[in-house]
């Protein structure tokens, strides 16, 4: 609440200050700070959190501006309703621009969005019949109160109010489940899916948020000027919006504010020499990229840190660190009598000539540790990838708790109760250990977009409950003391444990571990074995891919052996150790020689 009250007081003070300003240029500068803040706040969600690079924001600005222009001049829709509809139209364009992001990434995505911006620019320039071309559209109805158009001071007040609301709403959204999900997209989409984040849905959402705020800004500019033409909509605007975020601090809640205040004021100072404006912006962009990778927010953040002013309390530090033996949060099994938890029936997969799965059928009994072993390239990881939806089998079915999951999405399978770790660690390295594990709780949290955006009690309750569970998992896995450490800075063995803790946070029925002991020293391997037994004792079934035979034979209840994509043996560890086909597969010799 302190932040909310502080923000309201600041905005109220600015609004009162603005009412004493008589100079139109200063008021307009304040209004443009608000406009660019709106653009930057949405762009920050898209770029700073979700990691999607867009160079087409000018097109979305145009969508809002022209929507309001056409609605008020051609269709005589009232200015307030037009403003609302303009946000809706921009949101629809946001979905359109998001579609390519489902297929392309990084620079390719930037090029596609750039093309979108250019197309919109061309459409409004050339389509003079509808959009007025370079002449533009005049007589756009401004916002009004009781039929009296806003004065310049009222525009500033309204701009400030929108900035306040946008900031507080986005802050609610980004500090919880949604913000973490966006960050996971930026870090690793495969891992995001595996912890239950619906990757495509969240990407589209980030694009829509950026589109709506940008469209709102465009509509306000059109209504305030009562005029819009194609000169407003150009590539420089898209780059400027990008610059606002990068200069202010991408991924920081304060970045958009710092960026828009600084750059609009710099723009106002050089306004009389319009020819140098682009040079200045170019130089600032280069400066931000080279000298301030975290933007102004990063510079201020480290300054406050050095001065000891950063009192941000870490959530729930020390919780669940008591002496009692910690328990894992688990969900109740819908069918507790289910002997067979998962059945894979005749799974087949071919990558061209390589066939890593050939009629593989496996039955995993609940409450056991199953091990999947086999020589390198036998198809073990492919098998786990098929169970978790990362790879679609060519043939065969996977049934989990009585329902077929063969064609389900990666996040849908996580939702059902299957969690996994990866052979090559896939941690969200820049996030703290606690945030990594909180991301594991994503699929267990039920607060939706609206309750998160509005910061309703339900969202806070969910967040507090998730935090309690995460603290218990950290204690269970012995990670409590590293809770605030960035995951990527931990020793390798601890990183493996964080990935395991993250998987446990989705409260799975079945835990799939792809070589969890790879890279661990003998002591760490022994500790891992004990941890896995404790997890099994909590009622969680484990399927473990491992090359450490000592570990496999000491903790497994059931061992499955793959070779060249075929199951060649399965049974109790002692039986597998004595199986001649297994020896042959491992030693590559005939049974007699072995
Ligand atoms: N996406 C892919 N495209 C093409 N070939 C693939 C793909 N994934 C796996 N393979 C091939 O399938 C075979 C089985 O790979 P997989 O990773 O499943 O084996 P593995 O038993 O897990 O091996 P290791 O123990 O070395 O991890 C290998 O020859 C591998 O090169």
Same domain, residue pair 142 and 215: yes
Which residue's CA is the nearest one to ligand 1's atom 8? 382
Q: Taking residues 234-248, report their average pLDDT.
A: 89
pLDDT at residue 321, as a whole number: 46
Q: Is residue 290 part of a domain?
A: no
Same domain, residue pair 162 and 37: yes
Same domain, residue pair 344 and 463: no
Residues present in the chain in total: 594
**pLDDT > 70: percent of the chain:** 94
Number of domains present in the structure of the chain? 3
Residue 506 in 3-state DSSP? coil
For the segment 6-23, what is each residue's pLDDT rounded down to a tens digit? 999 999 999 999 889 989
Binned at pLDDT 50, 70 and 90, residue 201 comes out as very high
Token digits for 124? Answer: 């409004």
Q: Is 79 in the pocket of ligand 1 (CB under 6 A)?
A: no
Domain with 153, as residue range(s), is 1-234
Pocket test of ligand 1: the residue of 352, 377, 386, 422 to mutate, having most ligand atoms within 8 Å of its CB, is: 377
Q: Taking residues 429-446, report their average pLDDT.
A: 93
Same domain, residue pair 484 and 358: no
Pocket test of ligand 1: the residue of 381, 516, 546 to mutate, having most ligand atoms within 8 Å of its CB, is: 381
Query: If you search the block for the tokens 């997890």, which residue do you land on?
Result: 535
Same domain, residue pair 401 and 440: no
Q: Is 379 in the pocket of ligand 1 (CB under 6 A)?
A: yes
CA of 371 to the centre of ligand 1 (A): 18
Same domain, residue pair 79 and 182: yes
| Mean pLDDT for all residues in the chain | 88
For the segment 449-469, what is each residue's pLDDT rounded down to a tens digit? 999 999 999 999 999 999 999
For the segment 469-514, what is each residue's pLDDT rounded down to a tens digit? 999 999 999 999 999 999 999 999 999 999 999 999 999 999 999 9
Same domain, residue pair 411 and 439: no
Q: What CATH number does the domain containing 359 carry?
A: 3.40.50.300
Query: Does the pLDDT of residue 560 top 80, yes or no?
Result: yes
The better pLDDT of the pair 360, 105 is held by 360
Same domain, residue pair 3 and 147: yes
Query: If you search the block for the tokens 């194609």, which residue do you land on?
Result: 230
Burial of 262 (0-12, 13-18, 19+ CB in 10 A): middle
Q: From residue 335, give the alpha-carbon distance in Å to each of 178, 332, 366, 408, 557.
A: 31, 9, 11, 20, 22
CA of 406 to the centre of ligand 1 (A): 20
Q: How many CA atoms lie within 13 A of 64 on its CB side?
A: 30
Q: Is residue 108 part of a domain?
A: yes
Q: Is residue 501 part of a domain?
A: no
Q: Domain end: 234, 260, 290, which one?
A: 234
Token digits for 456? Answer: 């309703």
**pLDDT > 90: percent of the chain:** 60
Comparing CA positions, the residue from 120, 123, 82 lying closest to residue 216 is: 82
Q: Taking residues 536-556, report their average pLDDT.
A: 91
For the segment 42-59, what is each residue's pLDDT rounded down to a tens digit? 999 999 999 988 888 889
Residue 75 in 3-state DSSP? coil
Q: Is 424 in the pocket of ligand 1 (CB under 6 A)?
A: no
End-to-end Cα, the chain, rounded Å: 71
pTM over 0.80: yes
Same domain, residue pair 433 and 555: no
Pocket test of ligand 1: the residue of 374, 379, 394 to mutate, having most ligand atoms within 8 Å of its CB, is: 379
The strand pairing partners of 571, in sequence order, are: 559
DSSP string, 183-249: HHHHH-HHHHHHTT--HHHHHHHHHHHHHHHHHHHHHHHHHHHTEE-GGGSSHHHHHHHHHHHHHH-
Quick one: which atom of ligand 1 is closest to the CA of 547?
25
């Amino acid at each position: 609440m302190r932040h909310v009250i502080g923000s309201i007081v600041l905005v109220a003070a600015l609004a009162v200050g603005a009412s004493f300003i008589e100079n139109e240029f200063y008021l307009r500068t304040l209004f443009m700070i608000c406009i660019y803040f709106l653009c930057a706040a949405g762009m920050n969600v898209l770029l700073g959190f979700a990691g999607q690079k867009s160079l087409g924001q000018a097109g979305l600005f145009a969508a809002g501006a022209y929507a309001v222009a056409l609605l008020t001049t051609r269709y005589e829709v009232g200015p307030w309703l037009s403003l609302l509809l303009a946000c809706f139209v921009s949101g629809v364009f946001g979905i359109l621009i998001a579609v390519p992001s489902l297929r392309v990434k990084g620079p390719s995505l930037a090029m596609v969005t750039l093309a979108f911006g250019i197309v919109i620019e061309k459409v409004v320039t050339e389509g003079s019949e509808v959009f007025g071309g370079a002449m533009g559209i005049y007589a756009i109805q401004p916002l009004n109160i009781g039929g009296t158009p806003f004065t310049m001071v009222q525009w500033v007040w309204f701009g400030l109010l929108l900035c306040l609301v946008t900031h507080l709403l986005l802050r609610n959204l980004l500090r919880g489940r949604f913000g973490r999900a966006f960050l996971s997209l930026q870090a690793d989409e495969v891992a995001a899916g595996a912890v239950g984040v619906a990757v495509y849905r969240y990407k589209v959402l980030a694009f829509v948020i950026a589109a709506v705020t940008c469209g709102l800004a465009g509509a306000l500019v059109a209504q305030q000027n009562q005029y819009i033409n194609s000169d407003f909509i150009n590539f420089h605007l898209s780059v400027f919006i990008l610059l606002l975020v990068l200069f202010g601090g991408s991924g920081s809640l304060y970045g958009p504010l710092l960026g828009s205040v600084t750059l609009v004021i710099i723009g106002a100072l050089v306004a009389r020499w319009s020819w140098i404006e682009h040079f200045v912006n170019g130089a600032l962009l280069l400066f931000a990229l080279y000298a301030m990778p975290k933007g102004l927010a990063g510079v201020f953040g480290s300054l406050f840190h050095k001065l000891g002013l950063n009192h941000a309390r870490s959530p729930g530090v020390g919780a669940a660190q008591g002496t009692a033996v910690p328990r894992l949060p688990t969900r109740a099994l819908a069918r507790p009598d289910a002997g067979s938890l998962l059945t894979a029936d005749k799974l087949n997969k071919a990558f061209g000539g390589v066939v890593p799965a050939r009629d593989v059928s496996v039955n995993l009994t609940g409450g056991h540790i199953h091990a999947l072993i086999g020589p390198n390239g036998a198809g073990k990881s492919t098998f786990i990838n098929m169970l978790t939806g990362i790879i679609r089998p060519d043939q065969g079915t996977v049934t989990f708790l009585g329902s077929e999951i063969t064609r389900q999405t990666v996040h849908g399978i996580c939702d059902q109760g299957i969690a996994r770790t990866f052979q090559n660690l896939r941690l969200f390295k820049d996030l703290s250990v606690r945030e990594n594990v909180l991301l594991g709780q994503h699929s267990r949290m039920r607060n939706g977009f609206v309750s998160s955006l509005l910061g309703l009690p339900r969202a806070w309750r969910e967040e507090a409950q998730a935090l309690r569970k995460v603290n218990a998992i950290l204690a269970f896995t012995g990670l409590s003391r590293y809770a605030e450490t960035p995951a990527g800075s931990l020793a390798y063995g601890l990183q493996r444990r964080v990935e395991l803790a993250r998987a446990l946070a989705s409260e799975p029925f079945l835990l799939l571990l792809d070589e969890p002991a790879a890279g661990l020293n003998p002591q760490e391997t022994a500790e891992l074995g004990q941890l896995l037994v404790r997890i099994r004792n909590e009622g969680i079934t484990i399927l473990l891919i491992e090359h450490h035979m000592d570990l496999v034979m000491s903790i497994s209840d059931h061992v499955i052996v793959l070779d060249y994509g075929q199951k060649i043996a399965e049974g109790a560890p002692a039986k597998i150790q004595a199986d001649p086909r297994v020896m042959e597969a491992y030693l590559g010799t005939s049974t007699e020689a072995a």
